[in-house]
Amino acid sequence: MKLTFLGAAREVTGSSYLVEHEGVRFLVDCGMFQGGRETRAKNHQAFAFDPATIDFVLLTHAHIDHSGLLPRLVALGFKGVVHTTRATCDLLAVMLPDSAHIQEKEAEYANLRRFRKGLERKDKRGTAPRESAPLYTVAQAYASLRQLNPVDYDLEIAPHPQVRCTFRDAGHILGSAIVEVWVGEGKRRRKFVFSGDLGQPARPLLRDPTPIQDADYLLVESTYGNREHKSMEATQDELVEAINDTIERKGGNVIIPAFAVGRTQDMLYLLADLTRQGRIPKLSVFVDSPMATAATEITYKHMELLDAETHALMGKHGGAAHFRKLNFVESVEESKALDRITGGAVIISASGMMEAGRIKFHLRANLGRRDSTILVTGFQAAGTFGRRLVDGAKRVRLLGEDIPVRADLYTLGGLSAHADRTALLSWLGHFRNKPRRVFVVHGEETVATGFAEDLQKQFGWEAMAPSPGDSVILDQVDSR
């Protein structure tokens, strides 16, 4: 039995793990690496195996750092089935084509830049730069959707004669799952638990992560394994301060880079709830992301997965009664018009790490303005544009322009969809038996290695943070 860590090993993107045992080979997650130029290059070099040899994929949730390489896997020969929850299937139908559209546009822009540079080079050396190709196309993204198999929570399936698995609610985003996987037969059967991304308990919209009680081999995320989130009360106070200071006192705009799935819906809930409480005025809110609009519609399609508080506040109309205006922007022309608004607007736009999408244009229009505010509402991976802002950059390069950073910056850590250190330890505390091995993944290097040491000390578990590409032969290590 062999386990290989293809991504999200001592980093927080590119989640993908390969399990091999007596003729069966499957992936758990197939995520895209996100970040700077070097990180993006990993996506073109991914798959140190022949995709045609993979029997099936188990997908924990729809976020692109867990699902974004599925179209490439299919395009390169994978013929099997991707098993995931029903809500995740619905979200992927929006997210993967959107990701492909971004890939095509970025390749188009890169080729345009290279063409212009090539004209300059030809004057001197007579050579032209090589053309860029998208990681995958929109057509390939749609083709990959045909290989999805929707699965209900808590229902055991058998994707292969030697494999059984069950998806449990992870409370991270709509449809997110912890995956319990039994591999092998008889005395050699082993249970894997893949935590996926675990949600923070007692947060808006979703139910708390499902407790798991046993595993032979556990892969647990550690995104926030070294820190605590702000309380929801403190987060709401800071959100109230940011909104009132910007809209009421300064008269500027509030720009909220937000993941289209999960964080956008969280923000709509919180803004509606704070308005209901009378803590902020009725706002003109623009959700400028076709994917976020579709994700919001999908969220309300799956109301049975939402918690009771969300049902009470948002109702059938998504809380629209609590806003002065709630406008889901669709066209490019409408999106461009938002950048001519000089004040009083709350603009929620993707992507959450500010790496792509319409948010770049809204940042370009507002970063240099002292009366505007940027609300950072989620984790910013190393190398991303959002991380540079959070780290205090005074000037940034954006859409070919050099822009001074004058806008106020608020980081609302309490809105994270990831469990913090206390929540992770609490979830792990439900295990009744000591796992044979624990692998700490989906965390930056110092965080993952530190959290593994914590698990050794607190629980006495054999825990480690694997490096990218590491393989473990589990039968040899753990034969009993």
Examine the domain organization and report whether 277 and 209 are in the same domain: no
Residues linked to residue 20 through DSSP beta bridges, in sequence order = 2, 25
| Distance between CA atoms of residues 276 and 273, nearest Å | 5
Whether the bond into 176 is cis, omega within 30 of 0? no
Contact by Cβ (8 Å): 417, 197: yes
Examine the domain organization and report whether 114 and 161 are in the same domain: yes
Examine the domain organization and report whether 222 and 254 are in the same domain: no
- Asked whether the whole model's pTM tops 0.75, one would answer yes
Examine the domain organization and report whether 210 and 265 are in the same domain: no
Examine the domain organization and report whether 81 and 176 are in the same domain: yes
Check which CATH number belongs to the domain holding 294 and give it. 3.40.50.10890
Report which secondary-structure segment, H or E, holds 428: helix 421-428
- What pLDDT does 119 receive? 61
Check which CATH number belongs to the domain holding 160 and give it. 3.60.15.10
The token pair that represents 395 in the structure block = 């000037």
Examine the domain organization and report whether 353 and 469 are in the same domain: no
- What pLDDT does 124 receive? 57
- What pLDDT does 128 receive? 55
Examine the domain organization and report whether 46 and 152 are in the same domain: yes
**Who contacts 334 (Cβ-Cβ below 8 Å, separation ≥6)?**
288
Residues of the chain with pLDDT under 70: 119-130, 315-318, 476-480
List, for residues 365-409, the tens digit of each pLDDT value: 999 999 999 999 887 878 889 899 999 999 999 998 999 999 999
- What pLDDT does 47 receive? 93
Range of the domain at 174: 2-226+419-478
Examine the domain organization and report whether 258 and 338 are in the same domain: yes
List, for residues 307-336, the tens digit of each pLDDT value: 878 877 876 556 778 899 999 998 999 999
- What pLDDT does 170 receive? 98
Residues linked to residue 327 through DSSP beta bridges, in sequence order = 286
Q: How many residues does the chain have?
A: 480
- What pLDDT does 476 receive? 58
Number of independent structural domains in the chain: 2
> Which of 415, 441, 463 is the endpoint of a domain?
415
- What pLDDT does 318 receive? 60
Examine the domain organization and report whether 300 and 397 are in the same domain: yes
- What pLDDT does 480 receive? 38
Examine the domain organization and report whether 52 and 189 are in the same domain: yes
- What pLDDT does 202 receive? 86
